[in-house]
Amino acid sequence: MASEKNNIIVGLDIGTTKICVIVGQLAENGKINILGVGKASSQGGVSRGMVANVNKVVTAIEEAVKEAEKVTQIKINTVYVGIAGHHIKSLQHRGTLTRRNGEEEILAEELQGLENEMENLALSPGLEILHVLPQDYKIDGEDGIRDPIGRIGVRVECNYHIITGETTRAKTIGRAVFNAGLKVADLVVEPVASSSAVLSDPEREAGVALVDIGGGTTDVCVFEKGYIVHTAIIPIGGDRITKDLQEAFGILKDQAEEVKIKYGNCVPSEAMRNEVVVIPGLPGRPSKEISLYAIAQVIKARMEDIIQRVDFEIQTSGIADKLNGGLVLTGGGSGLKDVSQLFAFFTALDVHIGSPGRHLGRGMVEEVRNPMYSTAIGLVMLGIEEEMKIGSEFEPNKPMSEAQNQTEDLIEDIVEDVNDEESIHQKPTWKPSKYTGMIGGFFKGLVLDDTDDFIK
């Protein structure tokens, strides 16, 4: 099924500061060829990783998609979408399967059935399960089993990492994507996507914490023995630093963003006291001189706040002393100068910057090596993995030429139907799809369960 669709997968990252669309295709060597990228400002439609203004987000999505289609000459129909926000929570749960015949081999269908049962967990009203991530298995008292398929036993137990989110938040994202003329193949929690793009298998095995510093949120994903054991989304990101600079020095938002990117540093030094940045004043007003030391102090204060929250989540995971792989920073905020040094100082962990470069093949590779694209690249990777595994029931993304031919065929079919006397009295119907979420997760009913909600 995947080969019929040319393995063309599109990731849609709806960020607080930007909407990013990346079109990728699986290469023969297992790498991902980047066919095109589209970006647009979120226009204030996203707050702390969550859609706050649907119309603004729809406009931004359409702009980013249009740009990506122009570059790739591919008609984008279906996207894998990231979801974030402080409403995302995680929990651990243990499932048990008692088999009638312990002498028969354990089948994949049995494990899938056990995984499906996790959907029935009692959650607080308004919450739903986004991902069910199986961890280690236990068979008749023997624990630490990773792949029980083919083994024998009566009692099979599994630890699951379950990620939940608010239904209304998910539906709002779905509304925006739907109104932009696209279909959601799956919603993926953003740190799960970023970790796929950035972390290596040895790092996950050794124990590692991924920290994705985005515009509106800082996402945390902790791994032990190859499995996710803790997930959290902190509602503070790089845009908060921009706002701090804006308020501290009485400058415009665009000026504060430029100061942060060009001159920002997380660690003040005495040498900075003698260096200044000249900020143009408003019409008729004098310019301002701001020392690099003062800029660094503001950035350091906010970054320390973020680090303390990250450290709290790492401690909450229960494996803070087992992170032999250290801490990996990614996202746009990881580009701040000396941010690794500050994280290392406060967490006492080995810290380095992670980017999705190792997974990229040909195409617009240099454009997306920046850690700010980790989430979007991860969405493409997980989308390819899912399509290769089970395929998709949605309309694939195709080259424009194929899409045009398909449109012409559709027009011919419609003309034939109109000429068919019986078809004149038949009203077209649209039926929403049920799509099981990737990586063992479930986005129940997708976000299009209630079609009427999207037409109102």
> What per-residue confidence (pLDDT) applies to 357?
85
How many angstroms separate the CA atoms of 55 and 207, rounded?
A: 41
CATH number of residue 156's parent domain = 3.30.1490.110
- Residues in the chain predicted with pLDDT less than 70, given as ranges, are 1-6, 391-394, 401-456
Within-domain flag for 128 = yes
DSSP 337: B
> What per-residue confidence (pLDDT) applies to 398?
80
> What per-residue confidence (pLDDT) applies to 75?
94
Shortest CA distance to 162 belongs to which of 210, 100, 231?
Answer: 231
> What per-residue confidence (pLDDT) applies to 452?
40
> What per-residue confidence (pLDDT) applies to 416?
52
How many angstroms separate the CA atoms of 154 and 58, rounded?
A: 52
Within-domain flag for 72 = no
377: left (phi over 0), alpha (psi -120 to 50) or beta: alpha
> What per-residue confidence (pLDDT) applies to 282?
79
Q: How many CB atoms lie within 10 A of CB 352?
A: 13
How many angstroms separate the CA atoms of 333 and 239, rounded?
A: 9
Within-domain flag for 455 = no
> What per-residue confidence (pLDDT) applies to 423?
38
| Helices (runs of H) and strands (runs of E) counted in the chain | 12, 21
> What per-residue confidence (pLDDT) applies to 389?
76
Q: How many CB atoms lie within 10 A of CB 325?
A: 22
Tens of pLDDT, residue by residue over 200-258, are 999 999 999 999 999 999 999 999 999 999 999 999 999 999 999 999 999 999 999 99
> What per-residue confidence (pLDDT) applies to 418?
42
Within-domain flag for 110 = yes
Within-domain flag for 148 = yes
> What per-residue confidence (pLDDT) applies to 404?
56
What is the number of domains present in the chain? 1
Residues 228/258, Cβ–Cβ less than 8 Å: no
Q: Which long-range contacts (CB under 8 A, 24 or more apart) does 168-173 make?
A: 168/126, 169/50, 169/51, 169/83, 169/85, 169/87, 170/83, 170/128, 170/130, 170/443, 170/447, 171/447, 171/450, 171/453, 172/50, 172/51, 172/54, 173/14, 173/51, 173/81, 173/83, 173/447
Within-domain flag for 116 = yes
Q: How many CA atoms lie within 13 A of 388 on its CB side?
A: 14
Residue span of the structural domain in which 142 resides = 89-163
Shortest CA distance to 25 belongs to which of 359, 375, 407, 439?
Answer: 359
Within-domain flag for 410 = no
Q: How many CB atoms lie within 10 A of CB 22?
A: 31
